Amino acid sequence: MKQVQFIDWGLIDYKEAWDRQEEIFSETVRIKTENRDNLNGDQRQTSDYLIFCEHPHVYTLGKSGKPEHLLLDEKGLEEKHANYYKINRGGDITYHGPGQIVGYPILDLDHFFTDIHKYLRFLEEAIILTLKEYGIVAGRSEGQTGVWLDGDNPWTARKICAMGVRCSRWVTMHGFAFNVNADLNYFGNIVPCGIADKAVTSLNKELGRDVDINDVKEILKSKICELFEMELI
C-alpha cells in the first residue's frame, strides 16, 4: 500500500490553496528532475498528498476555457461576493464554494501508474462509489470528464462533480469539485465547464436534505484508498 499524506485545509481562500498546491507540486517535480539528472547518485523519494478543502465563492477558468463563459462582470462578481481566477489546470470554467468537497491529489503517478486517463477515471469512480452509498446511481457522460446523473440522457443529464487536472513529469495537481451541499444558484452565472445544455446538481438536492459533509469525506477517502491502493497517513 502506498502511503499518502492526507490534509484537510477546511475553508480556505482559493488563491492561498493554489499557492500551497504549487509549492508542493513544484518541490515534487524538482526532486524528480534532480533524480533524473543524478542517476548514479542518491535518489530522493517523493511524497504523495491527498488534500480536501472548501473555498469561499470563486470562479476558475482553465487553460482551454473561454472568458465569455463567465456571465458576470466585475460589478456582478462583487455583488455575488465571488472571486475569479484564470488558472493552469485543464478544462473550462467552474465554480467552487462552501458545501463542496474540493479534492487536490498531488500524486507522483510513478508510484501508482503512468496513465492520466486511468487517473481521471479512478477519481470519477471514487465519486460514483461514494454516491452509491447514498442510494444514488451516477456515472459518466461520453466524451466529457466528471461525474453525472443520467449522463446518457440529453434531457435529464446533470453534473454532480467537475474535474480538471494538471500533470507534469507524472505529478498531478488540481483535481475535483464534488457538490454536496453547494449553493447551485452560483452555477447560473457561468456556462459550467463550457457545457451550455446540461444542468448541475448536488447531493443534497438529489436527496432532498442536507448531509453531513464530514461523513461524505470519510466515505470518499475510503473509496479513493481502495481504488489507488493507498493508505492515508
Could you tell me which residues are annotated as the binding site for substrate?
A: 89-96, 162-164, 175-177
Q: Helices marked H in the chain — which ranges?
A: 14-37, 74-79, 116-132, 203-207, 213-228
Q: Is residue 193 annotated as a catalytic residue, yes or no?
A: yes
> What separation in angstroms does the CA of 98 have from each of 78, 102, 164, 184?
17, 10, 19, 11
Q: Is-contact 163 176, C-beta < 8 A?
A: yes
E runs forming strands in 72-207: 83-86, 93-96, 100-106, 139-141, 144-149, 158-168, 171-179, 199-200
d(CA 7, CA 23): 15
Number of H helices, E strands in the chain: 5, 12
Q: Which of 161, 167, 193, 225 is catalytic?
A: 193
CB 52 within 8 A of CB 217: yes
Distance CA 111, CA 77 (A): 41
Within 10 A of 17 (CB to CB), how many other CB atoms are there? 19
| Binding residue numbers | 89-96, 162-164, 175-177
How does DSSP classify residue 46? Answer: P
The catalytic residues are 193
